[in-house]
Structure formats: structure tokens, C-alpha cells
Structure 1
């Protein structure tokens, strides 16, 4: 049995979700971003207990097909930005189509209908949040950040950053009061 879970975005999320199941006495076969695989079906009371525990820590079970697809799109984009953005050698649309085995236009229309934003804007917002994180850490230069996030140039990164945040990356770096957004709030 596979369950789909909303708002899983990192390895810590996987550990927390695994613990939720184990605390209820269910040992998952695997826990990946956005999904948990179980050996057997859960009883209704177990499912309600899992749901209650997940909701209390910011996660949710996904039941309908549209929500599962949206969550898979978000999970793929977050993983791409956080873990392997510079490895992407094809267009985002081709990548999503290949990973989800669906036509990109179908995915795009569904995403826009449900999320009130485009996949591309969601991807850009995720990248800008990653740029903010890297600027705050102050370990990489702007050109290194641009390269690591697969921007064509520092100018491209700076223009996109300013368009989304209203600030230049340099101005943002000098602001101490601006906080980053949590991934699930983007």
C-alpha cells in the first residue's frame, strides 16, 4: 500500500514521517519524499491516527489523484532545486514529463488550475529561496551561486532575484531583518 503525504520536502521530513508511523506500530517498507510504502493496508482507525499525527506536525495525507500529481510536481521541483539543479541537462518541462509519464501541457494546466500559479513561477520562486539561503550563508560568490543553480549568468540571476523580491542580491545581503520563506509556504 502506498500513501501520499503533502509537505515532505527534505530528509528530516522523511525521518519525522517514519517516526509517526513507527509510533503507531506500523513499520514502513520505505519512506520517500511525498510517499510512504507499507507492506499491508492500514485499518481505518490507524489511518485516522496517522492523519491526526501528521496534521499536528504540518503534513497531510493526499487522497485524490489531482493532489497527488500536484504534490509530485512540487516534490520533483524542490528536490531539483535543493539537491541537483546543476545536473539538469534538459528543460524543466521535459524533466517533469519524463518523471511523471504525462504530457507537460496536462501537468501545467492542472498545476495552474489548482495552485493559481504556473509551474515555471513555482520553480523560479524555489530557486530564489535557494539563492536567499546561499546569500545568507555567505560562503559562495554570486557567480558561484548563479553557476550552482544553473543560471546563464549573474545578470540573469540578479534580474530574476529583483523581479521576485524587489531587491538586488547585494541589497538583500545587506538586510539583516529579511527572513526566508519555508519551502512549503512558497
Structure 2
């Protein structure tokens, strides 16, 4: 059994695309999730080279070094928390990362800042703001409901953070409805 780590897998569609390519290469998948594929057996050098080439053509890339894998796991945990869960939990982001990655938060924070040039907190906020934009464009929830869903302490706090990041108020953003969303892997 072998585990491969893949950069830029940020959504369920990405999982589908990677799964499809693995099927085409006739590789038996034991488990697949954001940023990670577990195969039944070790890849040959040629299989790995072919898979890497296919991934690269699709905007993904195999990650070989330990630090890059940790960074990708941090990003995937944050994306999962913000975009793919109805966030009832009030868990602290640092506690979630510590429990899932089994590393001291200071180590994770320093590594992330060193490699990404931004803090984990700023990355987390950027993801939350992208989710707010998405929910505003869908126009199904009020700003209060969005604040509650994304664990903001108040609508005012969400609005202030939104304006600080985008330069616009949520209501103005909703009004102009310009597509200001970035792909998740570009945040």
C-alpha cells in the first residue's frame, strides 16, 4: 500500500477527476480524499511518472517532500472546514489542526508562514471570505444566517472582515454581483 499526496485538490470535483485518471491508468485505489490518494500497491517509476504527467496537465501536482505535504494538509483541512461542512462546531482552528496533524501549532504556523508567505489565520480568513461571496451570490441566506453558518460572532464582525479583505461591504458586493470569486487553489 502507498499514499500519494497531491497539490491543488480542493473540491469533490477534483477528487472525481483524479479518481477518473487513476481508473484510466488501471491503478487500484483504496482511499481518495482531498490532497491524498491511497493505492493498494506501490507504483512503478513509470506509473508514477505517467500519473504525475497527467496530474500536471490537469493543474495538480504530486508532492514529494514532507513540509509541502503538511502545508497541503493544512490547506485541505481549512477548505474542508469552510467549504464542505455546515460548521456547527465552535472548535478553535489551532485545536483542529493540532488534532488532525499531530504537530505543535507553533511548528505548523511557522512552517505555513515560511512556505506560503502568509499566516494560517489569513489563509483561513481568505477562505471564509470566498465562502461568504459564494453564499451572497446564491442569495439564499441572509447576512445573519451566513454569519451564523461561518461561525462569526456577529454580522458586524463579518462585515468588517469582508470589507477589510475585499474593499467592499457585503451588501455592495451583493448589489454589483460581479464575479469576484477566485478558484480555491488561487486563494
TM-score after normalising by structure 1: 0.97
TM-score by length of 2: 0.97
Alpha-carbon distance between aligned partners in 2 of 1:142 and 1:90, rounded to the nearest angstrom: 22
- Out of 91-100 and 65-74, give the one that drifted further: 91-100
Q: C-alpha distance in 1, partners of 2:26/2:136?
A: 43
Q: Deviations over 1:115-147 (max 9, x none)?
A: 000000000000000000000000000000000
Q: How is 1:1-186 mapped onto 2 (pairs within 5 angstroms)?
A: 1-84=2-85, 86-186=87-187
Is the 2:35–2:73 Cα contact (8 Å) retained in structure 1?
A: yes
Instruction: Give the conservation status (yes or no) of the 8 Å contact 2:137–2:174.
Output: yes
Is the deviation greater in 86-95 or in 5-14? 86-95
Q: Distance in 2 between matches of 1:65 and 1:109?
A: 15
Structure 1 residues 85 and 107: alpha-carbon distance in aligned structure 2, compared to 1, 3 A threshold:
farther
Aligned-residue offset at 1:104: 0.1
**Which aligned segments of 4 or more residues in structure 1 are displaced greater than 6 angstroms?**
none
RMSD (Å), alpha carbons = 1.0
1:87 is paired with a residue of what secondary structure?
Answer: coil
Q: Is the 8 A contact 1:85 1:150 kept in 2?
A: no
Gap regions ≥5 residues in structure 2: none
